[in-house]
Amino acid sequence: MNKIFIFVLIFISLFFLFKKENYPDIRITSTLMNNSASSVDKKITRPIEKILFQIGEIEDIKSESVYEKNIIDIYLKKKPFLNVNNIKDEIARDILLEKEKIGSGAEILFDENFNEIYDVLIGITNENGNYEELYKKTENIKDEFLKLKRRDKVTIKGDEEQTLYLFYKSPYFSNLKLANDLIRKEILNINPTFGGGYYEAGKNIIELNSENKFQNEDDIKKRIINIEGKPIKLEDIFEIEKTVKIPKTKLTLINGKRGLILAVSKMKGTNGFLFNREVFNLVQKLNKKYNGVEIIYNKNLFKNNYLYFEILTDNGRNFNETKNIVLKSEDFLNKNNVQNYTAFIGYFPPKINKKVFEGVEKPNFAAFIIKTKNKNKIKREFENYLKNNFPIVQIKTNYKNPIKVKISNKNFDSFIKQKENFKNELNKINEISFISDDWGRETFSQGVKINENLAVQYGISPVEIFNFLNGFYNGITLTYYFKDDVRIPVVLKGKDFVDINSLAIYSNKVKKIIPIGEFAQIKPKLIYPKILRSNNEYYAIFTIEPNNLQIKRKIKQILKNSYNYEILKN
């Protein structure tokens, strides 16, 4: 019998220990695929902010823009009988009216569950690492928790769909005179995915459906597409690999094993002691029901009995790089006999109180929750390990006496200059052991500036160039097929990173392969992983750990010179 391991990671029953703070009344989340944080800020954040500033009941607006995603938090004025739902409806109407002025293709949603707090997080792994089996067992355990009288929501975190990848065998695939649009057209011809329709024709009803011809990966490998009249098997030009419900940019590792998180919240007004006892009894039952179950149950996690680390890599798109750093970091934890830890890669842990664990999902992010008796020693050594081995990583952790400073400016260029100057001034103070700001470390990316006049001479449009590069580096969905009622996307993608200068596009007009550099200028461009704004100003919050409390006076002296600043309370 395969063993299932259940770890009760977090249990909190004394929420009154945390003072109530000012939290947003409304949250808007947006998605704009294949756009950097700067583009998301320009195309989504600022146009929506312009709409919001016209609504009189709004007191403050804060936003976080990262790669492909955006969060806007709205704080309302404290008035009696203020109806949040009416204001939400007004905002939705105004956004709908101005939708054409907001980034083309942007998906804008009101996040109804942004303030959801979970009382218990349960990590579940299984011995053989089979993801499908793990998910099935987690659903069974979820059913057990749904029987609790005092529970509210029970949610599985970290689940994703299956994906079939067609990886280019060579970056020089243009030699085969292939283009993404042509490949997509050919595959759709043999595997249509149109939704069909439902029509009334007099007294008759006509229902149309497309039956996907693809049944499995072996079936796809043998399929033939026509390239300039020549039949070519898909397996001859692509490596075809299937992932089985493994997330592309989201992963949970519990003590080094792939896992899922079951998040449970108690019913409002429920007696915390009784809920605690109900969960404890269920844990004992699960311990007997599943052979080999290991339970780690500790309700005092947040009484300074844990370590919390966040890391953010330079490359805002690279999930695999982040995952590899986490896997290498686990070697350090294992060598130091840390027995209980969980890593959340690509997404924030489910929110467990109003002060911690909330943010946008992003592939260059990871968080660790570490339980250890040698807390101070592990904290110091793990931080040094990350700094010494991964210079591309920005680290954030729970420090004892942090000083938090917010600086802001309406002008972007002035703000960036001030932010860097402030960081440089802080680095000159020897008594400071740690400095971070919540924008993350900027990085140089490959900027591609297309000369449209040159491109058009080759018969290549900017859209074709975008689709070509997007398909190779990010992947494009060609079609779907169904297996056991599960819809599985078929994605075309480059398997390994390739220098953009080695790529070329086939020009049908001149019948030649044209290197990207022939019609585009490729040069480094500075990219910020995160853009933060508050009430129409750019802002950053610096977290500083001093070796002694006298440092605050030196920091204030620096700030008084030329900064719009605020020293925040912890």
Give the pLDDT confidence of 500-536 residue by residue, as tens digits: 777 888 787 888 888 888 888 887 777 787 899 998 8
Q: CA dist 381 to 329, 333, 339, 341, 388, Å?
A: 11, 10, 16, 16, 10
57-79 residue pLDDT tens: 999 999 989 878 888 999 998 88
Measured at the CA of 74, the angle between CA 78 and CA 85, to 5 degrees, comes to 70
Q: Phi-psi region for residue 146, left (φ > 0), alpha (ψ -120 to 50) or beta? A: alpha
Percent of the chain past pLDDT 90, that is, above it, reads 7
- Site of tokens 């952790």: 397
Rounded Cα distance between 58 and 343, Å, is 37
- Decide if 559 contacts 475 (C-beta within 8 A): no
E-only strand ranges, 18-68: 26-31, 58-66
pLDDT at residue 13 in the model: 32
Confidence of residue 10 (pLDDT cuts 50, 70, 90): very low
Q: What is the dihedral of CA 371, 373, 374, 375, to 10 degrees?
A: 50
Other C-beta atoms lying within 10 Å of the C-beta of residue 543: 18
pLDDT digits (tens, 9 = 90+) for 458-473: 888 877 787 778 777 7
Query: CA 395 to CA 306: how far, in whole Å?
Result: 16
pLDDT band at 17 (very low <50, low <70, confident <90, very high): very low
Nearest residue to 511 (alpha-carbon basis) of 468, 458, 457: 458
298 dihedral zone (left: phi>0; alpha: psi -120 to 50; beta): beta
Whether pLDDT at 342 is above 70: yes
Distance CA 304, CA 356 (A): 13
Neighbours of 460 (CB within 10 A): 24
Average pLDDT of 549-569?
83
Report residue 528 as tokens.
């910020």
Give the model's pLDDT for residue 295: 37
Q: Residue 218, SS3?
A: helix
Look at residue 410 and tell me whether its pLDDT is greater than 60. yes
The pLDDT value given to residue 14: 29
Report how far residue 56's alpha carbon sits from residue 90's, in angstroms, rounded to the nearest whole number. 11
Answer positive or negative: Cα dihedral of 48, 49, 54, 56: positive
For residue 267, is pLDDT > 80? yes
Q: Are 140 and 4 in contact (CB under 8 A)?
A: no
DSSP, res 20: P
Report, as an integer, the average pLDDT of 369-377. Answer: 81
Q: Is 527 helix (H, G, I), strand (E, B) or coil?
A: strand
- In angstroms, the CA 530 to CA 517 distance is 29
Does position 425 have pLDDT exceeding 60, yes or no? Answer: yes
Mean pLDDT over residues 247-258, rounded? 79
Alpha carbon 434 to its chain centroid, in Å, reads: 25
- How distant, in Å, are the alpha carbons of 213, 241, 478 from that of 192? 8, 21, 10
The pTM score is 0.57
CA distance 27 to 74: 6
pLDDT at 248: 64
Q: Please tell me the predicted confidence (pLDDT) of residue 51.
A: 92
Angle between helices 375-389 and 319-335 (to 10 degrees): 140
Sketch out the chain's domains with CATH numbers: 24-110 (3.30.70.1430), 165-244+453-498 (no CATH)
Backbone phi, then psi, for 72, in 5-degree steps?
-120, 120
pLDDT in tens, 213-244: 777 777 788 888 877 777 888 888 888 877 65
Residue 183 or 327, more confident: 327
Residue with tokens 């097929």: 481
457 in helix, strand or coil?
helix
Among 29-33, 90-94, 151-155, 351-355, the range of highest mean pLDDT: 90-94
**In angstroms, rounded to a whole number, what is the distance separating the alpha carbons of residues 303 and 569?**
19
